[in-house]
Amino acid sequence: MTTTHEPHPETASTDSSWWSEVGWVHLVYLAFLIPQPIYDPDSGLWDWVLVVGIVLVFLPLYVFAWVRPDLARWGSVVPMTALGVVTTPLNSGAAVLFVYAAAIAGVRESRRIALRWFIGLTVVLCVLVSFSPVPLPQRLWGLGPPLVFIWIIGLTQIEQAERDREAAELRLRNARVEHLATVSERERIARELHDLLGHSLTSMIMHAQLCQNLVEVDPARAREAAAKAERTARAALTEVRAAVSGLRQASLDAELESARETLSSVGVELVTRCDRSLRLVGSTEHGLALALREAITNVARHARARSCCVSLSVVDEELRLVIADDGTGGRHRAGNGLAGMRERISVLGGRVEWSGSAGTTVTIAVPLRVAT
């Protein structure tokens, strides 16, 4: 009998199921202890005392296997086997204890270790059959069936335990997938809200400042700026709802129009050079549109530029969206916007390059086979 311990973890729900639904039912097989005192003409009071004693010692060992599955080998299987070795010569029905030991080993041990237990229990029981003082044929009636049931019940318990473990692992994997999906959805919403609100709030601030500057000088233009701020706020509210529900789909044409309006409010001229013959897939256009929005927001906030050029063309089997301004340029710390842009474009298999040597140029490249 090996002493290598390779237990498999059991879930609390599995233990509870064994205890409440299966464990007590199996105790009916203790009835195998009764025939010998009943049918042996030489039996007496002490034979019945032995039956009661076996049951009283066995029950705590049996319960221990379900209460402490991590200690089932030394707290249950080993002492149960020893109890069977001591009592089977006195009552052949006590051989049923070896079947209980095999069942517990099948549940609590790995398949390899459990099979070693079955072999060991079989050998011990064969030795007891050979040397038992119980006369024939009572000896065979008492010891023969356990030799068979050690394997039948033991293998059955191995299969059941493996199914339970696979079910528990499946539940764990499903829980992990659900958690990752939740985290991914949160990140998506965070990126959407950042891209959306960063641009919309910037546009609203620009229009509000323009309104404030013109309210006394040019009331008509001030009212127009206020109206644009209101339209931007309403559009942002609609897009926030769509982003949260996952239904939002941005388009390059809409973003270019919005960019023109935003940049004009801060005195920046927008020049576009786009290949109108290109037909983009929805996911690519959505990603490029949001990247354009982030880049335009940065131009309006930080560039202090006079003009900005946006071009969309095919170069070396890549679709390239380039946003270049003639502003201050220089090196700036990459914020959440640029990080989110790179993350979004990397999902499409593309890349984002940033240059601040002469003004600022952002190049977004996506493989053409993905984009169209």
Q: Which of 229, 243, 241 is nearest to 200 (CA)?
A: 229
Q: What is the pLDDT of residues 182-206, one digit of tens each?
A: 666 677 666 666 666 666 677 777 7
Each residue's pLDDT tens digit in the chain (372 positions)? 434 444 444 444 444 444 454 467 778 888 888 877 887 777 788 889 998 999 999 988 888 888 888 888 898 899 999 998 888 888 888 888 999 999 888 888 888 998 999 999 989 888 887 776 666 666 666 677 888 888 988 888 888 888 888 887 877 777 777 767 666 667 766 666 666 666 667 777 777 777 777 777 777 777 777 777 777 777 777 666 666 555 456 678 888 888 888 888 778 888 888 887 888 887 788 888 888 888 888 888 777 888 889 988 888 888 888 988 888 876 655 555 677 778 878 888 888 888 877 788 888 888 888 777
Neighbour order of strands in the sheet with 360-367: 269-274, 307-315, 318-325, 360-367, 351-355
The DSSP H or E segment spanning 316 is none
Given a contact cutoff of 8 angstroms between Cβ atoms, the answer to whether 125 and 95 are in contact is: yes
Predicted local confidence at residue 2, as pLDDT: 38
pLDDT recorded at residue 174: 73
CA torsion through residues 49, 55, 56, 61, sign: positive
pLDDT for 78: 92
- Asked whether the CA dihedral 279, 298, 248, 318 is positive or negative, the reply is positive
Residue 39, SS3 per DSSP = helix
Return the closest-CA partner of residue 22 out of 61, 63, 51, 77.
63
Tell which residue, 296, 287, 284, 289, has the closest CA to residue 188.
287
Q: What is the DSSP letter of 31?
A: G
User: If you write DSSP's letter for every residue of 178-190 in order, what string do you get?
Assistant: HHHHHHHHHHHHH
Contact, 106 vs 158, CB < 8 A?
yes
Name the burial class of residue 78, with classes exposed (0-12), middle (13-18) and buried (19+) by CB atoms within 10 angstroms of its CB. Answer: middle
Residue among 274, 345, 332 at smallest CA distance from 303: 332
% of the chain with per-residue pLDDT over 70? 79
| Burial environment of residue 274 by CB neighbours within 10 A (0 to 12, 13 to 18, 19 or more) | middle
